[in-house]
Amino acid sequence: MTEVKREVFGQMPREEGGGMVEKFILKSDSVKVEILSLGCIIATLETKGRDGEFSDVVLGFDTLEGYTRKHPFFGTVVGRVANRIAKGRFSVDGKEYQLFLNNGPNSLHGGARGFDKVLWSPQVLPNGVCFFRLSPDGEEGYPGDLKVWVTYTLSGGELAINYRAQTSKTTPINLTNHAYFNLAGQGSRDIYDHEISIEADSYLPVDDTKIPTGEVAAVQGTSFDLRQPVELGKHLQKFHLDGFDHNFCLQQVQARRLVARARHPLTGRAMEVHTTQPGIQFYTGNNLDGSLKGKGAIAYPKHAAFCLETQNWPDAVNKLHFPNALLRPGEEYNHTTWLVFSAA
């Protein structure tokens, strides 16, 4: 059985439009997750280790104030389009659209005020919570009134995140959750002792602004071959890598499949990622630098966490040979990702 509770988390500042932020607590025997109505943020995710003790394995803040200030999308749902759009530009049906540039020369994670920075309308479910919002035509430069539903449900050790959307005009869409994980427990120094594997035969090389070049490259014989588990610290050292921030190309099927696994041998905690999405962005917290203090006033240094963001490929709206990024009126965008936590 999953227990669902709701409580007030805080009040948005007046300059952010005010409004009450609620926290929804989903609890099973093995997982406890706290989700905010601001940005559908996973603020806490506690899971058992081999010793039976719970530990919070996601980065974030103790108070609302942390989330209303600038932060690197801790736990948020990002959209309308997660990841990068080159030069913030795309064309739909012959019309060109220009987005706000918030990542060097590119647009990232929905723009200046994306889905991560707005209040969503919650509805409590027997085993979770469903958040809804209407993104109006022209918001952040995107066409069409977009209705979006993000549903979190917890069953035992499995947290499911379902994304649905419908639009009044053809629009690009790409939704994901940007949780930062450290299975040793948030606030642990780094993720070097984690074992990571990703079920991908190819990945997308990027230019120096992190935009895919268009090549779909084989992982075979490269540092991107993560089909067998690697110990992250040793792997980064061996290949002289600063870290990962790349899209791995998954099997192009709309069915649920296992795409990635992370394991922390010391605590026995493991997380499997299953999804219907065509890609997964593996990011190792390269831009964390210790300047942000999170829960318990702990500083988050470089490589303090990893993200496994299931999504469409970056800049897919501008690359015709990438999976389709457009949602048309009358269609429904519908993707699910399952995070399965265990300890052994």
**Are 57 and 46 spatial neighbours (Cβ–Cβ below 8 Å)?**
yes
The response to whether 304 counts as a known ligand-binding position is no
Q: Residue 92: how many CA atoms within 13 Å on its side-chain side?
A: 19
The answer to whether 343 is annotated as binding is: no
CA distance 307 to 155: 22
In angstroms, rounded to a whole number, what is the distance separating the alpha carbons of residues 54 and 279? 30
Single out the catalytic residue among 178, 194, 246, 264.
178
Is 84 assigned a ligand-binding role in the annotation? yes
Instruction: Collect all residues with Cβ–Cβ distance below 8 Å to 53 and sequence separation of at least 6.
Output: none
Distance CA 3, CA 9 (A): 18
Residue among 46, 139, 195, 309 flagged as catalytic: 309
Q: Is 83 marked as a binding-site residue?
A: yes
Contacts of 187 (CB under 8 A, 6+ apart): 294, 295, 296, 298
- Is-catalytic flag, 178? yes
Would you call 227 helix, strand, or coil by DSSP? coil
CA-CA distance, 236 to 97, in Å (whole number)? 39
Neighbours of 272 (CB within 10 A): 19
Query: How many angstroms separate the most distant Cα atoms in the chain?
Result: 59
**Do the annotations mark residue 227 as ligand-binding?**
no
H or E segment and range at residue 120? none
* 96: annotated active-site residue: no
CA dist list (Å): 187 to 269, 294, 304: 16, 8, 7
When computed from its CA atoms, the radius of gyration of the chain, rounded to whole angstroms, is: 19
Q: Are 288 and 182 in contact (CB under 8 A)?
A: no
Q: Is 178 annotated as a binding-site member?
A: yes
Q: Give helix then strand counts, H and E, for the chain.
A: 2, 27
The binding site for beta-D-galactose comprises 83-84, 178-180, 245
**Catalytic site positions:** 178, 309
The binding site comprises 83-84, 178-180, 245
